[in-house]
Structures are given as C-alpha cells and as structure tokens.
Structure 1
Amino acid sequence: MAKVGAKRQITLPKQQCIAAQITAGDIVDCFVDRQGVISIVKKHSGAAKGVLRHVAINTEISEQESIEIGRA
C-alpha cells in the first residue's frame, strides 16, 4: 500500500512498477474518474504520432478561435 507524503507524493510499490514497466525517470499521466479512482498511465514517446493525420486543417479560423471553441 502506498502512503501520500506531505508534498502529495506517492511511492508506488516495486511490483506494480515492474508490472507496468515504469522505471525511474519515466513520464506518467494521472487521471481521476467520477468515482475518485486515480489511474496512472506511462507515457510512451511517439505513441500518438499520426493519430490526427486524417483531420483536415480549417484555415478559416485562427488557432485562438479554435481554442475558444474547444472551451465552450
């Protein structure tokens, strides 16, 4: 079982790190679902490469307008 320190840091158990192939220096992302469950996901360099290649660029709106639309 992990314990949260004063700086909200958590040390993951060694066996969980081995199972998830997480080593010192790896980048992870954390997500919290509606039930309060935290998921830790190891980031893989280049994992999303090409994911958006099929999306057409709309040159009629600016980058800032696109960001604002996404926030709405």
Structure 2
Amino acid sequence: MEHKTSGPSRLLYVKDIAERLNRSVGQVQYMISTEQLPHTAIIAGRRVMREDDLESWVNSHFEAERAEVSA
C-alpha cells in the first residue's frame, strides 16, 4: 500500500501515464490530442500530467460505471 503525502502532486510523463493505463505511448499521445485524458502541460519541453489528475480521472470512470450498473 502506497503512503500518500499532503505535498504537491507528482508529475507524470507520457511514458509513466502509458504504464499506469497499460497502453502504448502512442495511444496515450492520441488520447491527449483528442482530449480524452485530463489536462496536460508542457514543462521543460516535456508533456506532463499531475498524478492526482490521472487518479481522479480513473476514479471518475469507476464511479460512472458504478452509477450505470445501479441505475
């Protein structure tokens, strides 16, 4: 079990996002370009996303699925 700190969210690179979603880097880049993933930014020439934003996005999909099943 990971220990959560109250500090700033870690920044994830496209490769990190791909690993977490079990997708290829190309698929993640496509999802970013079509705005299927939450907001990303370019920092120091690299596309990044806040770890908290990715976790919230994944959780929202589980909540939406749960709502559909219980409806």
Q: Same fold (TM over 0.5)?
A: no
Relative contact order (C-alpha < 8 Å, sep 6+): which is higher?
2
Structure with greater helix share of residues: 2
Structure with larger Rg: 1
